[in-house]
């Protein structure tokens, strides 16, 4: 799975999405905290968008991991 296909229909650059997901997971920030941090950097993103992006990335990561695990058996 390529990065391009993972972010095909997203409005934001993959780097912005991944940065927010990384901060959310690493620093236990809320989506509203991330929304404020992005606003300080000039990026208008809604907290619900970040939630959906995190959910989709987690789902696709699990699918990719399970397909790799199945091919190794």
* Residue 6 phi, psi dihedral angles, 5° rounding: -65, -35
pLDDT digits (tens, 9 = 90+) for 33-71: 999 999 999 988 888 888 888 887 777 777 777 776 666
pLDDT of amino acid 73: 63
Identify which of 44, 68, 53 has the alpha carbon closest to the alpha carbon of residue 19. 53
Q: Are 30 and 17 in contact (CB under 8 A)?
A: no
How many angstroms separate the Cα of 49 from the Cα of each of 19, 34, 71?
A: 14, 11, 33
Domain ranges of the chain: 12-71
pLDDT of amino acid 61: 76
Q: Are 31 and 47 in contact (CB under 8 A)?
A: yes
């Amino acid at each position: 799975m390529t990065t391009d296909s993972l972010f095909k229909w997203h409005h934001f650059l993959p780097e912005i999405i991944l940065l927010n997901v990384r901060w959310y997971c690493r620093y236990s920030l809320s989506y509203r905290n991330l929304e404020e941090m992005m606003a300080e950097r000039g990026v208008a993103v809604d907290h619900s968008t970040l939630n959906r992006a995190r959910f989709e990335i987690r789902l696709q990561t699990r699918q990719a991991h399970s397909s790799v695990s199945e091919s190794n058996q």
